Amino acid sequence: MDKETKNLIAEVSAGIVFFTMAAMLAALFVYPQASVFAGLILGMVLALVMFFSMALVLDRSMKTMDPRTVQKWGIISASVRYLLLIAILITVISMFSDRINPVALVTGVLGLKVGAFLQPVIHKIAFNKNKKV
């Protein structure tokens, strides 16, 4: 991976972590239960793993010249990611819902979307900080 890609991965990851910390702060005032914090942390970990998986597939796809191979790997990897996510959600809901809040888990996973939306803002902050130094 080149430097720009690594920076992009770091920026989106920072957005995911920032969203999770903000959600934990809100949960501290709204619903301060240990299961909520466990759900948010597990959701953040799942969001980061899903994002890293996407980044690796996209990086590999950019190096592949065959469009059919790129399409096949994209479909397979997305299917595996979402099947694993559904399996984890079902497991948490059926076996661990007393220790891990399923709503908080889904909220943590949605940090992937928020991290992607926050990336331009984080990039501006990081770029201006590096420019001043």
* Total number of domains constituting the chain: 1
φ, ψ for residue 100 (rounded to 5)? -130, 120
**pLDDT of res. 130:** 61
Mean pLDDT calculated for residue range 80-107: 91
Q: Is the pLDDT of residue 15 over 80?
A: yes
In the numeric block, the tokens 């010249």 are attached to 65
**pLDDT of res. 132:** 60
**pLDDT of res. 48:** 95
The alpha-helical segments, DSSP class H, found in 31-133 are 34-63, 67-95, 102-109, 111-132
CA distance 83 to 81: 6
Domain coverage including residue 20: 3-132
- 61 class by beta-carbon count within 10 Å (0-12 exposed, 13-18 middle, 19+ buried): middle
DSSP letter, residue 101? -
List pLDDT tens digits, range 24-48: 999 999 989 999 999 999 999 999 9
Q: Is the pLDDT of residue 133 over 60?
A: no
CA distance 21 to 25: 6
The pTM assigned to this predicted structure is 0.87
